[in-house]
Amino acid sequence: MGLRDKRQIEKNKTFFQSVGHAISGICRLVLEERNFRFDLIIATFVLIMGVIFQISLNDWLWLFAAFFAVIGSEVLNSIVENVVDLIVGRQYNELAKRAKDIGAGGVLLSALFAVIVGCLIFIPKIIELIK
């Protein structure tokens, strides 16, 4: 008999093992998901704008809610896409397309929420700066 497969199939034994897998997942998102990287770039830009405009604590809370809504929906969409691809492989399937489109729609809705939050926070600050 050959060597046994060392890949983990049981539950994590320790908290740190769970954290390690979570960090691995985040790294995979950053390396493999273009839209996730784009979301991080936009979030970084908005954070810099928040510092420049010295926004209030309440505004920061709304911005972080928007960031995590977008990033969270992007993560869920990536999960949907990977599971669908695992099931249907490289063949076209109408239900698979529907599932992927709905996942992408969820990301779009959360991004719209983030744009609205950003506009409500930054447009008055920009107008005040112009005056």
94 in a known ligand binding site = no
100 in a known ligand binding site = yes
**What is the per-residue burial (b if ≥16 Cβ within 10 Å, else e) of 69-98?**
bbbebbbebbebbeebeeeeeeeeeeebee
33 in a known ligand binding site = yes
Catalytic residues: 74
10 in a known ligand binding site = no
Q: Amino acid letter at 114?
A: A
DSSP annotation of 10: S
Residue ranges for the binding site for ATP? 33, 81, 100-101
Residue ranges for the binding site for substrate? 74
